[in-house]
């Protein structure tokens, strides 16, 4: 039997405005700029302000003096509005402070971005070179198919047999793998040399052909890569010298020649655009005080269009139809909440950054002495949830007097010293790096020996912890750090 019942439950749900704020909070500066541009396109009531605050206020005063209705008309409009709606927008319309957002800019900053030189994709670069190669129509077809399967590192990851099968099926040809191998050999000699190789070993051998050096040393290098590649990767230098029947000095010269080769020919050069970080905060020290700035130079100033505001305040007079009024209400509320979310984002980010500077004051003063700190420490200071701290920290960067760092850099676990103090594990990692850089390259230090040195410096650390930190810094084991 169907029956109707009532239930009373207590639920916690995020409002759409809270969800919007949280999404904006986790965006870095450049992503926020793109998000604002999208909102400007979607919401006609939101516009980018180019006028100064004084000009805007003067224009609004003139509009109010010219178009202000009489008291009788105003009271009539207000009463009609309350009959039609459960709430009035007059409170919103009178709240001037929340209609705009303008980030702080320094006078010496320009909004125009520096031009970036155009770059040419690897595929296009190789195809352009093919036009000058002496290839038949079939060879050109195979070369284009090979180039289309080269990855960003410059390697041919797809099996050549499958490429030949696809060409034969698609173009009704009788192409052989040997013919494709010949074309691949031609492709591998294009610039950059070695592109299209299937393995690292093949890539290095191709590049060795064009390397200008002593022929004897080049032959030793070829033997090392072609015949004893496994011993080469494991740095068994004495065994290599014995097998090739040469001296260790000749092995060293051959290794120097191999070191000039590019293991990733397709990687190319890092462009300015790829190697540029847009910081979210700028922290400077002046007269013992820290000045924290939120980098808003990429965030355009926003405001709600005053013409639409005027239309909303005189709905009945202007004869606006109900559908238009409803549309304006929705877009007005969306624009107002969007601006409020950006204001709240700025306030929250500044609170988090101030707390980080306060906790890591020694680092911002000297560039050293990073202290152990977790998200919970900052959350307790600013009275916010840990998830909020995580959103602020994720993907954000700060420019300090001692370099640019990701905010997550300031959060780390602690290691106790023999003096009873806790130091950041990042300080310990830096000590390990310094020890490795100062070691004898002929006799690199083992993890046990590094742990002994650190314990002698007052750090309570085990060998397995040294190995863990060394691996996180991409430092190879002692055997692979050994040099001739």
pLDDT at 484 over 80: no
Closest C-alpha among 337, 252, 289, 314 to residue 45: 337
Q: What Cα–Cα distance (Å) separates residue 97 from each residue in 6, 16, 41, 192, 309?
A: 44, 22, 23, 58, 14
Higher pLDDT: 10 or 276? It is 10
Position 317 confidence tier, pLDDT thresholds 50, 70, 90: very low
Residue 336 CA to residue 34 CA, distance in Å, equals: 18
pLDDT at 31 over 60: yes
The least confident of 7-16, 351-360, 468-477 is: 7-16
Cβ neighbours of residue 26 under 8 Å, at least 6 residues apart?
391, 392, 394, 395
Q: Are 359 and 373 in contact (CB under 8 A)?
A: yes
Domain boundary among 270, 297, 320: 270
| Same domain for 312 and 297 | yes
Taking residues 129-134, report their average pLDDT. Answer: 86
| Same domain for 288 and 399 | yes
**DSSP letter at 19?**
H
CATH of the domain at 483: 1.10.10.60
| Same domain for 330 and 240 | no
| Same domain for 255 and 148 | no
Q: Side-chain half-sphere of 382: how many Cα atoms within 13 Å? A: 24
pLDDT recorded at residue 352:
95
| Same domain for 365 and 284 | yes
| Same domain for 214 and 164 | no
pLDDT recorded at residue 77:
43
Contacts 24+ apart (CB under 8 A), 433-436: 433/473, 433/475, 436/470, 436/475, 436/481
| Same domain for 205 and 162 | no
Note whether residue 72 is domain-resident: no
Note whether residue 473 is domain-resident: yes
Q: Are 307 and 47 in contact (CB under 8 A)?
A: no
| Same domain for 396 and 362 | yes
Pairing mode, strands 302-304 and 414-416: unpaired
pLDDT recorded at residue 131:
86
Q: How many CB atoms lie within 10 A of CB 461?
A: 22
Q: How many domains does the chain have?
A: 4
DSSP string, 328-380: HHHHHHHHHHHHHHHHHHHHHHHHHHHHHHHHTHHHHHHS--PPPB-HHHHHH
| Same domain for 194 and 319 | no
pLDDT at 112 over 80: no
Q: What is the pLDDT of residues 326-355, one digit of tens each?
A: 888 888 889 999 999 999 999 999 999 999
Higher pLDDT: 287 or 96? It is 287
Residue with tokens 């260790």: 248
**DSSP letter at 69?**
P
pLDDT recorded at residue 85:
44
Taking residues 365-378, report their average pLDDT. Answer: 90
pLDDT recorded at residue 83:
43
Residue 156 pairs in a beta bridge with 150
Residue 330 CA to residue 337 CA, distance in Å, equals: 11
pTM of the model: 0.67
pLDDT recorded at residue 165:
94
Does residue 424 sit in helix, strand or coil? strand
Position 427 confidence tier, pLDDT thresholds 50, 70, 90: confident
pLDDT recorded at residue 389:
93
Position 293 confidence tier, pLDDT thresholds 50, 70, 90: very high
pLDDT recorded at residue 320:
67
Q: Angle 322-359/386-393 helices, nearest 10 degrees?
A: 90
pLDDT at 418 over 90: no
CATH of the domain at 150: 1.10.10.1330
| Same domain for 371 and 293 | yes
> How many DSSP H helices and E strands does the chain contain?
24, 9
Note whether residue 3 is domain-resident: no
Position 300 confidence tier, pLDDT thresholds 50, 70, 90: confident
Note whether residue 112 is domain-resident: no
pLDDT recorded at residue 107:
47
Domain boundary among 158, 174, 198: 198
| Same domain for 458 and 391 | no
Q: Are 340 and 39 in contact (CB under 8 A)?
A: no
Note whether residue 348 is domain-resident: yes
What mean pLDDT is reported for the chain?
Answer: 83
Closest C-alpha among 346, 352, 342, 344 to residue 382: 352
DSSP string, 113-133: PPP------HHHHHHHHHTTS
Residue 27 CA to residue 29 CA, distance in Å, equals: 7
pLDDT recorded at residue 432:
93
Domain boundary among 198, 218, 235: 198
Position 79 confidence tier, pLDDT thresholds 50, 70, 90: very low
Q: What's the domain range around 466?
A: 412-484
pLDDT at 50 over 60: yes
Q: What is the pLDDT of residues 150-184, one digit of tens each?
A: 998 999 999 999 999 999 999 999 999 999 999 99
pLDDT above 90 as % of the chain: 49
pLDDT recorded at residue 113:
57
Closest C-alpha among 198, 220, 199 to residue 208: 220
pLDDT above 70 as % of the chain: 82
pLDDT recorded at residue 258:
95
Note whether residue 40 is domain-resident: yes
Residue 153 CA to residue 169 CA, distance in Å, equals: 29
Closest C-alpha among 400, 421, 329, 429 to residue 93: 329
pLDDT recorded at residue 268:
66
Q: Are 375 and 386 in contact (CB under 8 A)?
A: yes
Note whether residue 309 is domain-resident: yes
Q: Are 284 and 401 in contact (CB under 8 A)?
A: yes
Q: Are 196 and 156 in contact (CB under 8 A)?
A: yes
pLDDT at 304 over 90: no
Note whether residue 417 is domain-resident: yes
| Same domain for 373 and 358 | yes
pLDDT recorded at residue 465:
92
pLDDT recorded at residue 323:
82
């Amino acid at each position: 039997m169907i029956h109707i019942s009532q239930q009373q439950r207590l639920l916690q749900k995020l409002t759409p405005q809270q969800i919007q704020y949280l999404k904006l909070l986790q965006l870095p500066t450049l992503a926020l700029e793109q998000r604002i541009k999208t909102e400007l396109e979607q919401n006609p009531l939101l516009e980018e302000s180019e006028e100064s605050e004084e000009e805007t206020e003067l224009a609004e005063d003139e509009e109010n003096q010219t178009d202000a209705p009489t008291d009788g008309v105003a009271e009539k409009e207000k009463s009609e509005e309350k009959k039609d709606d459960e709430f009035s927008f007059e409170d919103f319309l009178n709240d001037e402070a929340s209609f705009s957002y303008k980030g702080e800019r320094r006078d010496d900053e320009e909004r125009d971005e520096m031009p970036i030189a155009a770059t040419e994709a690897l595929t296009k670069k190789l195809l352009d070179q093919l036009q000058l190669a002496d290839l038949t129509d079939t060879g050109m077809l195979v070369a284009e198919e090979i180039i289309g399967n080269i990855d960003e590192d410059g390697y041919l990851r797809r099996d050549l047999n499958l490429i030949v099968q696809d060409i034969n099926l698609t173009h009704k040809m009788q192409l052989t793998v040997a013919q494709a191998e010949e074309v691949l050999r031609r492709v591998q000699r294009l610039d950059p040399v070695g592109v299209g190789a299937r393995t690292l070993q093949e890539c290095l051998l191709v590049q060795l052909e064009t390397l200008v050096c002593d022929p004897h040393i080049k032959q030793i290098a070829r033997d090392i890569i072609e015949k004893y590649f496994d011993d080469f990767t494991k740095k068994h230098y004495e065994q290599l010298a014995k097998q090739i029947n040469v001296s260790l000095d000749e092995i060293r010269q051959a290794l120097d020649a191999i070191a000039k080769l590019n293991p990733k020919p397709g990687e190319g050069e890092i462009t300015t655009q790829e190697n540029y970080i847009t910081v979210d905060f700028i922290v400077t020290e002046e007269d013992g005080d820290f000045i924290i700035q939120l980098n808003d130079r990429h965030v355009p100033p926003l405001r709600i269009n005053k013409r639409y505001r005027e239309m909303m305040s005189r709905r009945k007079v202007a004869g606006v139809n109900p559908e238009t009024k409803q549309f304006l209400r929705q877009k007005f509320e969306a624009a107002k909440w969007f601006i409020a979310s950006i204001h709240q984002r700025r306030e929250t980010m500044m609170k988090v950054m101030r707390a980080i500077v306060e906790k890591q004051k020694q680092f911002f003063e000297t560039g050293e002495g990073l202290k152990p700190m977790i998200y919970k420490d900052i959350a307790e200071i600013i009275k916010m949830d840990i998830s909020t701290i995580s959103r602020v920290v994720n993907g954000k960067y700060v420019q300090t007097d001692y370099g640019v760092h990701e905010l997550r850099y300031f959060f780390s676990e602690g290691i106790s010293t023999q003096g009873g103090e806790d130091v950041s594990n990042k300080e310990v990692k830096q000590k390990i790096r310094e020890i490795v850089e100062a070691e004898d390259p002929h006799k690199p230090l083992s993890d046990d020996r590094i742990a002994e040195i650190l314990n002698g410096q007052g750090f309570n650390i085990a060998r397995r912890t040294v190995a863990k930190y060394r691996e996180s810094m991409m430092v190879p084991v002692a055997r692979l750090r050994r040099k001739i």
